[in-house]
Amino acid sequence: MKILGIETSCDETAAAVVADDSRILANVVSSQIELHRLYRGIVPELASRAHLRKIAPVVEEALHDAGLSRPDAVAYTRGPGLLGPLLVGKVAAQTLAYLWDCPLVGVHHLEGHLFAAELGGEAKLRFPILALIVSGGHTDLILAKKPGLYRVLGRTRDDAAGEAFDKAARMLDLGYPGGPAIDLLAKTGNPQAVSFPRALMPQTWDFSFSGLKTSLLYRLEREGKPRGDRERSDIAASFQEAIVDALIEKTLAAARRFKIENVVVGGGVAANSRLRRKIKAAAGRQGLNLSIPPPGLCTDNGAMIAQAAIYRLGSGRISKTFRPDPSLPFQNWGQALTF
């Protein structure tokens, strides 16, 4: 079985074809970074229009790359995300499934980030899983008992980790998106150079990054913009370290508390080289079985959406409602009768 996955929740128009043994047969991602760079952030209306222009060519290219005239099923991101962009993906997916007379599966975006860890011939996920999904919109710590049965243990109370990277990059004049720019700059910086606060909040599984962001702002107001490459990379490395430490500390503490051996990290921020290196080392010391998709599959793509649809197709539970939902809840998402 071959599944076409469509992802349009934010600023990437993406389509991919994935076989039911998790092989990626095609993976096309059309990024809108250039379009939004001018505004140093995503403009929803511009994003919707760009998705409209791109969706047909991107789907055509994916089918062409996979050497396929029609797939056996279509999956799309039902939410959460920006309403306009979600609508474009939904209408495309629904129309194609109707034309091809094949099953249509609505996928939760976070579930896509979780199942990305199975892509490309990696071993099937072993449940129960403690998942950390870190992106531009989410920093969620999830206890996944089995596919579709999710308990959200904690989430960010303010900025998501990716959002904190993006805002810090803006303050340091590093452009958009900020995560990759800070990651690169931090490689030549000293992570201990500046002591930024870590909001560990031991009484909850929630995260908070607004204090860290404010601390950077106050430093820049007090001492001015960095005066050279050395200072700029030291600030980037120290800021990144504060985020990475908070993410790792809480994830591994939750794994211990709930006695979970399988840990998955996903979402755009999981592409961060420092987070990848540090959490691999820390998980190894704790004897955990850690899965992180390769960096190119951490950021938004259609393959993760197709992959997350596979278990659902196997259980015969396919979509009955097609309403996109910008704030689709994740708790027990796969148990819903309609999705």
Residues that bind ligand KG4 (CB under 6 A): 10, 135-137, 162, 165-166, 177-180, 183, 267-269, 271-272, 299-300
CB of 298 to Zn ion, least distance (A): 9
**What residues from 54 to 73 belong to the interface with Zn ion (CB under 5 A)?**
none
Per CB under 5 A, does 166 bind Zn ion? no
**What residues from 120 to 159 belong to the interface with Zn ion (CB under 5 A)?**
135
Q: Which of ligand KG4, Zn ion, none has residue 283 at its interface (CB below 5 to 8 Å by kind)?
A: none
CB of 267 to Zn ion, least distance (A): 5
Q: Which is nearer to ligand KG4, 245 or 300 (CB)?
A: 300
Q: Which is nearer to ligand KG4, 272 or 319 (CB)?
A: 272
| Contact residues for 308 (Cβ-Cβ < 8 A; gap 6+) | 75, 107, 108, 111, 112, 114, 115
Closest CA to 154 of 205, 210, 209: 205
Q: Which is nearer to ligand KG4, 140 or 234 (CB)?
A: 140
* Cis geometry, peptide bond prior to residue 177 (ω within 30 degrees of 0): yes
Query: DSSP per residue over 175-241, as a string?
Result: -SSHHHHHHHHHTTS-TTSS-------TT-S-B--HHHHHHHHHHHHHH-S-SSHHHHHHHHHHHHH
End-to-end CA distance of the chain: 21
**What residues from 273 to 312 belong to the interface with Zn ion (CB under 5 A)?**
300
Closest CA to 262 of 147, 125, 135: 125
CB of 264 to ligand KG4, least distance (A): 14
Q: Which is nearer to Zn ion, 118 or 300 (CB)?
A: 300
Calculate the alpha carbon distances from 176 to 13, 167, 170, 188, 268 in Å: 17, 9, 7, 20, 14
CB of 77 to ligand KG4, least distance (A): 10
Q: Which of Zn ion, ligand KG4, none has residue 269 at its interface (CB below 5 to 8 Å by kind)?
A: ligand KG4
Q: Which of ligand KG4, Zn ion, none has residue 179 at its interface (CB below 5 to 8 Å by kind)?
A: ligand KG4
Q: Which of ligand KG4, Zn ion, none has residue 166 at its interface (CB below 5 to 8 Å by kind)?
A: ligand KG4
Query: DSSP per residue over 53-90, as a string?
Result: HHHHHHHHHHHHHHT-SS-SEEEEEEESS-HHHHHHHH
State the residues that interact with Zn ion by CB under 5 A.
Answer: 135, 300
